[in-house]
């Protein structure tokens, strides 16, 4: 297992659309393992492969308090959604920034697990938010893009300045 580098907004690689995984094999399983370790170490509750500069449709999520219920979604697709909820979101690629975003309250998602087996699940509340947030990453979208252009610009300026200071 290895800790992976997480890309920070506004890195242009975050806007890359991920390709479907062709085969769930040892390479993908190692990626899942590395992503989970990286997510837990960050610490975060979700991580998309795009965030670690791998442009394939792989997501790891764990919203449990004990951090022992890893959910892996490979090639996820939302097949139904309804309702609406506003949630304050943060992102490992946008450190220190938290903003309210409106998303579907209830979703049904279809995906492959870490063994390559297809499954369908329902999610609501925080889990639904997290799945939608991570799926956006696979589409090359970061949550700040839901905000006003003014807020996006402020966040971009703040993060670029912070990166310069760290360099």
Where in the sequence numbering do the catalytic residues fall? 134
What pairs with residue 119 in β-bridges?
111
Note whether 105 and 85 are within 8 A (CB). Answer: yes
For 127, the 3-state DSSP assignment is: helix
- Residue of 104, 110, 51 whose CA lies nearest to 81: 104
Note whether 147 and 156 are within 8 A (CB). Answer: no
> CB within 8 A of 105, min separation 6: which ones?
82, 83, 84, 85, 124, 125, 128
Helices (H), the chain: 26-41, 125-138, 149-166
């Amino acid at each position: 297992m290895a800790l992976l580098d997480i890309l920070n907004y506004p890195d242009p690689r975050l806007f890359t659309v991920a390709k479907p995984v062709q085969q769930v094999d040892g390479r993908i399983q190692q990626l899942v393992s590395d992503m989970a370790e990286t997510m837990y170490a960050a610490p975060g509750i979700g991580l998309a492969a795009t965030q670690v500069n791998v442009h394939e449709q792989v997501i790891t999520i764990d919203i449990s308090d004990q951090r022992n219920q890893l959910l892996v979604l490979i090639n996820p697709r939302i097949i139904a959604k309804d309702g609406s909820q506003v949630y304050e979101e943060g992102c490992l690629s946008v450190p220190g920034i938290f903003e309210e975003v409106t998303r579907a309250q209830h979703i049904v998602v279809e995906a492959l697990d870490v063994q390559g087996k297809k499954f369908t699940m329902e999610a609501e509340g925080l889990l639904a938010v997290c799945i939608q947030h991570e799926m956006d990453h696979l589409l090359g979208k970061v949550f700040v893009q839901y905000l006003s252009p003014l807020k996006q610009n402020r966040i971009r300026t703040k993060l670029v300045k912070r990166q310069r200071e760290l360099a």
